[in-house]
């Protein structure tokens, strides 16, 4: 009888410690602001198509929100643009810095270790995304209220209730990958436009 009670007690303690450990893991991950979108690089063929779709050229300011190893910002800088590489993961930013240096374009790229949800991209002419459906949903209003003319290109994920201006399927060694282009419009009658009443300006 006593040994059965002891066993039960040990089991209860074991379950309680597993539950506490799970809660600790969840809350510490949230509190640290860790990346919610796991790292997966865009294949280089697709990077080139993204730059073409956005018509990136000298004079552009290209932000990659969640820039990973920096391949998009490096390609944009090589095309003559100035670019901004934003990532929450310092290891990814270190890789991006090294890749920019190897490509000889470091002076054209700004690196920001921050949560992309707080990024000020007021000076952007192009925003590149390869995130998640949920992250695109969170960013949509901010993008719609950005300056008219801003080109937004997303690899893989669309925007809820914002039909793209163009979408293509890029061929890569990973198979066909959809990419989408939106252009922020000032014309509020255009269903693709920003909703003026919701924007601060």
Enumerate residues 6+ apart whose C-beta is below 8 A from 66: 35, 37, 86, 87, 88, 116, 129, 130, 131, 135
DSSP state of 189: T
Enumerate residues 6+ apart whose C-beta is below 8 A from 2: none
Q: What is the Cα–Cα distance from 65 to 114, expressed in whole angstroms?
A: 10
Binding piece for ligand SAM, criterion CB under 6 A, among 17-25, 68-76, 142-150, 169-177? 68-76
Q: How many helices (H) and strands (E) does the chain have?
A: 5, 7
40 binds ligand SAM (CB under 6 A): yes
Binding piece for ligand SAM, criterion CB under 6 A, among 6-14, 38-46, 98-106, 189-197? 38-46
81 binds ligand SAM (CB under 6 A): no
Give 95 or 194: the residue with its C-beta nearer to ligand SAM: 95
110 binds ligand SAM (CB under 6 A): no
- Shortest CB 67 distance to ligand SAM, Å: 5
Query: CB of 173 within 8 A of CB of 45?
Result: yes
108 binds ligand SAM (CB under 6 A): no
Give 42 or 83: the residue with its C-beta nearer to ligand SAM: 42
Q: Which residues lie near ligand SAM (CB under 6 A)?
A: 35-37, 39-42, 64, 66-68, 71-72, 86-89, 92, 115-117, 130-131, 155
């Amino acid at each position: 009888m006593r040994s059965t009670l002891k066993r039960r007690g040990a089991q209860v303690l074991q379950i309680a410690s597993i539950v506490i450990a799970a809660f600790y893991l969840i809350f510490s991950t949230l509190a640290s602001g860790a990346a919610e979108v796991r790292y997966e690089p865009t294949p280089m063929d697709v990077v080139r198509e993204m730059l073409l779709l956005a018509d990136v050229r000298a004079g552009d300011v290209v932000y990659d929100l969640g820039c990973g190893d920096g391949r998009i910002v490096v390609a944009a800088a090589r095309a003559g643009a100035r670019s901004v590489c934003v990532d929450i993961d310092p290891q990814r930013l270190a890789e991006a810095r090294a890749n920019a240096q190897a490509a000889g374009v470091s002076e054209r790229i700004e690196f920001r270790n921050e949560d992309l949800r707080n990024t000020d991209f007021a000076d952007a002419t192009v925003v590149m995304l390869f995130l998640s459906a949920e992250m695109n949903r969170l960013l949509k209003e901010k993008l719609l209220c950005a300056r008219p003319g801003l080109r937004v290109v997303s690899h893989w994920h669309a925007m809820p209730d914002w039909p793209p201006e163009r979408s293509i399927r890029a061929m890569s060694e990973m198979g066909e990958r959809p990419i989408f282009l939106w252009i922020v419009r000032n014309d509020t009658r255009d269903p693709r436009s920003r909703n003026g009443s919701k924007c601060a300006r």
